[in-house]
Structure formats: C-alpha cells, structure tokens
Chains A and B, each alone.
Chain A
Amino acid sequence: MSLACVGLVTAALLLLDHKLALNLVPVAYLIPVIIAATQWGIWPATLASVAGTGAADFFFLPPLYSFEIDDPQEAVDLLLFLVVALVSSNLASRLRRETEALRQREKEIQQLYEFSRRLAACFTVSDLISAIQNYLSHALGQQAAFFVAMADGHFEPPKSGSVPSVVQERVASMIAKVAVPAQTIVDEPTQNVWLIRAVCSEAAVHGLVAVNIGSGSREIIDSRTGRVETILEEVSLTLQRLDIERAMEDARLHLQAQLLRDAFHGTLSHELRSPLAAIRGSASVLDSMPLIRRDDRAHSLVEAISDEVADLDGFIQNLLSATRLTASGVSPRLEWADPRDIVDAAIQRRERRLSAHKVEIEFAEDLPLVHVDSGLIEESFGQLLENAAKYSPSGSTIAVSARAERGRVILAVADQGVGITPDEQQQLGRRSFRSQRHQATIPGSGLGFWIASTFVRANGGTIDMSSRGHGLGATASIALPGPQTKAWADQ
C-alpha cells in the first residue's frame, strides 16, 4: 500500500512540469509517508520513506532514470529528506498508536460504565454474580467462571464452563475467608494465565472469580489483569452497598419487632393486669365482709375468684417474662443474696399451688451467699416448683434443698412424679416445649422451663433436669456461682 502511494505521487509529479516538480519533490513524498504512518504504522511508513527517496532520485534528479546523483548538494538534500521522512513517520505512527490506545480506553470505560449500571440494578448477591459472569465472558470476550462461596467455607465450582482442572484444584484448596489474596496460575497445556480473585464485601466472601487473562507478554498480562481488577473493585463496592441495604432492612424489621413487643408488653402489664388488680382487690374486700364470712358458700365462691385470678396473674407474669426475654435479653441486677431467702420467697409465692403436696425443705449448714439477681432466680426456682407440683400426684412429697458443692450453690427440687424420658430431656430447653404425654392432661404453655433456664443462664448459672426414668420422679436443679473467696464470712 505504501509503495502504491509512492507510485501515485510519482505519477502525479511526472505529469507536472519538470522544473516545478523538482521543487515539490521533498514535500510531495512526505505525503505517502505520513499517510502510511497514521494508517498502517511504523514499518509501512519507513518503507514509504525509502521508496520515496528512491523514486525522487530515479525520476527527478539528474541524471534522470538512474540512481546516480551528479550534484553532491542534491545528494545531501535527498539524505536530509530521508531523515525527515523517517522521523516524521515515526512521530506520526506514535500519534496513531496513542489515538488507538485512547480509543481502546474509551471503549473500556464505556463497557465499565455499562457494567456499573448493571451493578446498580443488582439487588441481591445472585443478581450480582450473574452480572459478573455475563460481563466477563461476553463483553470482554474472556473466559471466566464464578465459584460461589458455601456456608462451610468452601467454593462451589460452576455447573458449566471450561475451567481447566489446574484452576479447579487450586480453588478447591482455598478456604473462604475475608482477605483471600489474588492469585495467578498458569494452565500448562494452553499457556494461558488465569487470575483468581475473591469477591467480597466487608462482612463476607461471596465467591471467587477465575478469569482467563490469555497468554502473551508480561505487559499484556498486566494490563488485562488491571482491567479485571477494576471490574472487581466495582463489584466490591456494589456488594458493600447491598450489605448496607440489607443491614438497614434488618434494622428496620428489628425495630418494628421491638416496637410490637414493647406494645405487647405495655398492653399485657397495663390493660390486662389492671382489671385483674380490680378483681383481686374486690374479692379480697368481699372476703373480709362479715356478711360473706358468715356464709360458707359465698366465702368459698370468693375464694375461687381469688384463686383463679392468682393463676391468671401467674400466667400473665410468665408471658411478660417471655416477652422481656425475647425483647431485650435479660440484664440481671446482681447482688449478694442468701439462697435461703430466694428459696423461701419462691415457696411462699407458690404456696397455694403447692398446697396439695407435702413440701420438705432442707438447707445445708454454712450456705454461702450467691451473687445473683434474686428476683430472677426466685422466678426460675418458682417455675421448677410449679412443674414439680404439676407433674406429680397430689399428696406426694416435693423435696426442696439448697447445698454448697465445689464452690457453687445448688438449689434442687425433687418430686415423686411422672419423671422425664431421655428424649424429652433433650428438648427441655426449647421454648414452648411440651411433652406429648402431658399435652392433653396437664395444662401449661411450655414457657416455664425455658424462662427458668434463660434467667438462670443470665445469672451465670446452669439448670439441670434429671430423672431415673419414667414414673420415678424428676429432680430439677439450679447451680449458681458462689463466692470465690471466704473473705466475706468474717465480719
């Protein structure tokens, strides 16, 4: 092509007057050189320069139609032309390269822009993953695969795709954790370089991208790697945005739940307990009236009202405790308390429920004080007492004891009731668990033991339930942290 250009220029110059042509020669032959340089690059331009020099000498410098030169001045001119042509061809071709690079960059930026627009439209991580795959493999024309991070810390290989086994093996050996470094790996048979890079937000690794960078010189590899890195940078930003959105959504839901629970709590404690207070109070006033006291039937009816109200209040108290647990967790108000006081208070509060049973209380000598929220422990112990009364026959004995054991204080309730099976034992700690055996016969909400165990745990204690088997009774015990030193004992 450059030779054709030179020929064209020569023909054009030949048509002109020889004298005029001679003046135009150096300038005219620069035209094909510049054209070749801008259009086809440095080598065609050099060829055009040499060809132009030759043609000028052959056609226009005396002696005509020979490569010899008579005038040494003209020889110098011709050499000068050659140098100028070579230099300008070099300059022009560099200009062309830069324009091309610029155009390429513009294209890349355009593609990235498209990609980030797609990312902006992503609302879930899986949307994002498909966008990455799509972009890497189609828009960039590069082979890419996405390995999804699994919950167990490994990466799930993609279902389809042509990822070489070397890459697969490497990925399989990697563990999903934050800050997995980027790696490159060479696939020997094809000499292709694969880049492996984690896609992660601040909180978690979502997966790995493996991209075929292709083969070639170090610079090519580096520039392609740079491109992929840029894309993944975008992806990370989008992931962070998704994380933030999800966190905000979670916070909003949490707040709603919190408000609902607070409302429930408020309603329970005020709207339900106020009428109860009026009923209980009115019944107690009735009960003290001489008119009622004289009449046994009326008296027993009033007593029935009081009893039922007490039951109902206990039930509401349970629900309140449960909502309190779910709402904010428990923050115990720790103080040194006498375990005897706790046990006594719990028994006294449940006196009516325990009235059908024989309650035997045994306190060990030298019981240390315990550092707990006595209200919470009293409530927990009360739950155990209530369960013992519920699941053992009337007239049987409920043995209550408190003892110190290896620096801890154990409060125990042993009954002579139905006992529990190992299967039931496993499920005990669950909220609302009620054994199939008793669901029809013994009323309850299944909240009691759950509340008790949560309260005890909040106080740094443990709760345990054991039974020698079905029908052999059960022993529930609370172990509380005792004092570390005996320093308090000497007053």
Chain B
Amino acid sequence: MNKSTNVVLLIDDEPKIRRFLRAGFELHGFSVLEAENAADGLKAATFNAPDLVILDLDLPDLHGTEVLEGLRSWSNVPVIILSVVADEDEKVRLLQSGADDYVVKPFGMAELLARGEAALRRYFKTATENPIVMAGPLSVDLVGRTVSLNKNQIRLTRKEYRLLHILAMHVGLVVTHDQLLREIWSGNQRDNIQYLRILVRKLRQKIETDPNHPRLLVTESGVGYRLQARLENGLEN
C-alpha cells in the first residue's frame, strides 16, 4: 500500500480468533491493534486512527451493528465485518450502514486479506485519483471511460459501462443490488432486480472468458455483485 505500514484494528471478543488474525496480518506487513469489546474498540479507533477495522458482530457489550454506526458517525475508515450468520438480509443491512465488506466465519486468511486490501485500495484511491482500475485481464479507465480486455479495447453500451464503472470503483468489494439499481436506473425501474440480472448477463458476455462460469464479475447471492481484483485459480482460499 501507499504507507509503509498499515494499522489494522481487530475488534473481536474471542482471543483465539484475534490470535490468528494478528499472525495473519503481521505476516502481511500490517501492524495490529486489538480490542476485546465495543467500548475498547471505539476508543482505539478514536485515538489510534487505524487504516482498517475488522469488526466482529457478536461483542459482549454492544452489537457490531451499533459499533459500526458509532464509527461511521465520524470516520470513513474501511470496515470489514466478521459474521457467523449466513443471513443475506443482515449482510445487506450492514453494507448499507457503511460496512465495506464482510466475511462469513469460518473464513480463510487469504479471503479476509483480499477484502481488506480491496477496501484499503478504495480508501486510498479517492486520495490519489489513479483513474485506471485493473481487474485481472480487464482494465477500466474511469476518466477516459474506456474498457479493455487483454489490452484490446471493447465496446460497452452506456448501461453496461455504468455497471462496470460502479463495480470497478469498488473493485474487490461487494456492491449491493440496491446500490447498483439506484445508480444505474431511475424512477420505478429502480426496484426491478430483473433488469440488473439481464444487464449483468450481457456484460459478462463481453468481459468473461466463459460467461456461464464468471470469474471476474461474480454473484454474491442475495447481496449483490463483486468485481474480482484478480483471477483466482482453482480452489477457494
């Protein structure tokens, strides 16, 4: 990243989870702060200005959602949620109240690191204004509004480009259906997720090697879509 070391704040009441998170982050050059409850976590976020917050939802004093809301009232720091529930509604709610992404326990360190780095990248992107987003073989020039796949420029319709633009701005991070619908369509079409599904299909046909088995523009079922920062090979992490 841009700074020499990024500071990550872990807010989780389970010491064993914190232990491996610390090891994993330190191994990748982060410096780690820990908090075992919401009060300590909010305090640490205020006084130590971390670059990234990893927030568990099950905290002894406050629910993670409230911590997130408290944090968001004054800070833009990227937040990744650790959740045990595979409940799509809750994921969407958390994303809407300002979480950058989530991972569902049990998760692998690589998955969390990828999310964290994507969130950090997005956070610093707004500061540096680098207009080119790379996602595997795909590159999107957000200023020039051009898209190329394996260095060959491809043509997209206005709506297809709009969709890709939003996803590219959040590259590596999930974007909810609601947000996509809101930013691409207007009026009563906003509520129609079918339009979005069709548009995604069309875009995939232009950017994916095999549109039936997308590896760049992936579906987060019940939540939204994600533009992968790089192609993953084989097994999930």
Contacts and interface: CB of A to CB of B under 8 A. Distances in A.
Interface of A: 269-270, 273-282, 284-285, 288-289, 306, 309, 313, 317, 333, 335-338, 340-342, 344-345, 348, 351-352, 361, 363, 369, 373-375, 378, 488-489, 491
Nearest to A362: B212
B24 A281 contact: yes
Contact of A352 (B177, B197, B199, B235): B235
A488 B106 contact: no
Nearest to A316: B106
A338 B219 contact: yes
Interface residues of B, number: 40
Contacts of A282: 16, 19-20, 23
Contacts of B89: 333
B24 A375 contact: no
| A-B interface, 5 closest residue pairs, ranked by CB to CB distance from nearest | A280-B106, A284-B108, A277-B105, A278-B16, A277-B106
A275 B16 contact: yes
Nearest to A285: B24
B60 to A, nearest CB: 12
Contacts, number: 112
Nearest to B112: A281
A281 B17 contact: yes
B194 to A, nearest CB: 4
B183 interface: no
Interface string B7-39: 000000010110111011001000000000000
A239 B235 CA distance: 65
Nearest to A309: B106
Interface in B209-234: 212-214, 219, 221-222
Interface string B164-177: 00000000000001
B88 interface: yes
Contacts of A373: 222
B162 to A, nearest CB: 13
B107 A280 contact: yes
Nearest to B189: A491
B141 interface: no
A341 B221 contact: yes
A353 to B, nearest CB: 12
Nearest to A306: B108
Given A274-B84, A335-B193, A375-B221, 9 more contacts: A270-B84, A281-B17, A284-B24, A284-B110, A285-B20, A285-B23, A344-B219, A363-B212, A488-B195
B109 A270 contact: no
B198 interface: yes
Given A335-B222, A340-B212, A344-B219, A273 B88 contact: no
Given A274-B105, A285-B27, A488 B194 contact: yes
Contacts of B192: 488
Contacts of A344: 212-214, 219
Interface in B19-76: 19-21, 23-24, 27, 58
B237 A284 contact: yes
Nearest to A342: B221
B106 A491 contact: no
B197 to A, nearest CB: 5
B74 to A, nearest CB: 30
Contacts of B200: 338
Contacts of B194: 336, 369, 488
B84 A337 contact: no
B86 interface: yes
Nearest to A340: B212
Interface string B97-115: 0000000011111100000
